[in-house]
Amino acid sequence: MKTSADLVRDYLSAVERETSALPADRRQELLADLAEHVEVTRAERPDAAIGEVLAELGDPRTIAATALAEAGSGAAGVPARGDAGAPARRGKVHPLVPLLMLTLSVPFIMVFPYLPGPLFGVLFRITGAVLLCTSVHWTAVQKTTGVLLTVVLPTVLFTTWNLANGNTSSAAPTVVSTLANLAVLVPIAGTAAWLWRVRRA
Amino acid sequence: MEPGDSTKQARAAAQLRKGVLEYCVLALMRDRPRYGVELLHALEESGALATSQGTVYPLLSRLRRDDLVTTTWQESASGPPRRYYALTDSGRAALDEFTRVWPGFRNAVDAFLNTPHPSTGDLA
CA A97 and chain centroid, separation: 8
Task: Determine contact, residues A21/A73, Cβ cutoff 8 Å.
Answer: yes
DSSP state, residue B79: S
Do A174 and A188 sit in the same domain of this protein? yes
Residue B96: CATH number of its domain:
1.10.10.10
Task: State the total domains in chain A.
Answer: 2
Do A119 and A45 sit in the same domain of this protein? no
A47-56, A157-166, B17-26: range with lowest mean pLDDT: A157-166
Strand partners, B82: B74
Do A145 and A161 sit in the same domain of this protein? yes
Do A147 and A67 sit in the same domain of this protein? no
What phi and psi, each to the nearest 5 degrees, are found at residue B87? Answer: -70, 140
The pLDDT tens digits of the residues spanning A48-88 come to 999 999 999 999 999 999 999 888 743 333 333 434 434 44
DSSP state, residue A150: I
Contact yes or no for A63 and B61 at CB 8 A: no
Do A107 and A72 sit in the same domain of this protein? no
Do A58 and A106 sit in the same domain of this protein? no
Instruction: Tell me if the pTM is above 0.90.
Output: no
Domain final residue, candidates A58, A90, A122 = A90
Q: Which of A172, A163, A175, A185 is nearest to A108 (CA)?
A: A185
Q: Does residue B22 lie in a domain region?
A: yes
Facing residue for B57 by CB, picked from A34, A69, A77: A34
Do A45 and A80 sit in the same domain of this protein? yes
Q: Does residue B18 lie in a domain region?
A: yes
Contact yes or no for B58 and A56 at CB 8 A: no
Please state, for a pLDDT cut of 90, what percent of chain A lies above it: 30
Count the neighbouring beta carbons within 10 Å of the beta carbon of residue A21: 21
What phi and psi, each to the nearest 5 degrees, are found at residue A70? Answer: -65, -30
Distance from C-alpha of A73 to C-alpha of B106, rounded to nearest angstrom = 30
Domain final residue, candidates A29, A60, A90 = A90
Q: What is the 3-state secondary structure (H, E, C) of A52-101?
A: HHHHHHCCHHHHHHHHHHHCCCCCCCCCCCCCCHHHHHHCCCCCHHHHHH
Task: State the total domains in chain B.
Answer: 1
Domain hosting A75: range is: 4-90
The Cα of B121 is separated from the nearest Cα of chain A by a number of Å equal to 39
Do A130 and A112 sit in the same domain of this protein? yes
Contact yes or no for A37 and B11 at CB 8 A: no
Task: Determine contact, residues B87/B39, Cβ cutoff 8 Å.
Answer: no
Determine the residue of chain B that is closest to A81 in CA distance: B1
In the three-class reduction of DSSP (H, G, I as helix; E, B as strand; rest coil), residue A15 is classed as helix
Facing residue for B36 by CB, picked from A36, A62, A77: A36
Do A15 and A85 sit in the same domain of this protein? yes
Distance from C-alpha of B8 to C-alpha of A84, rounded to nearest angstrom = 21
Those of residues 39-98 in B touching chain A at CB distance below 8 A are 40, 51-55, 57-62, 65, 67, 76, 78-80, 82-83
Q: State yes or no: pLDDT of A6 exceeds 80.
A: yes
* Residues of chain A positioned with their CB less than 8 A from the CB of B57: 30, 33-34, 37, 63, 67
Count the neighbouring beta carbons within 10 Å of the beta carbon of residue A171: 13
Do A52 and A121 sit in the same domain of this protein? no
Which element (helix H / strand E) includes B82?
Answer: strand B82-87
A40-54, A154-168, B64-78: range with lowest mean pLDDT: A154-168
Domain hosting B27: range is: 9-114
Domain final residue, candidates A55, A90, A125 = A90
Do A111 and A145 sit in the same domain of this protein? yes
The pLDDT tens digits of the residues spanning B76-86 come to 888 888 999 99
Facing residue for B37 by CB, picked from A26, A41, A197: A41
pLDDT at residue number B121: 56
The Cα of A33 is separated from the nearest Cα of chain B by a number of Å equal to 7
Contact yes or no for A57 and B52 at CB 8 A: yes
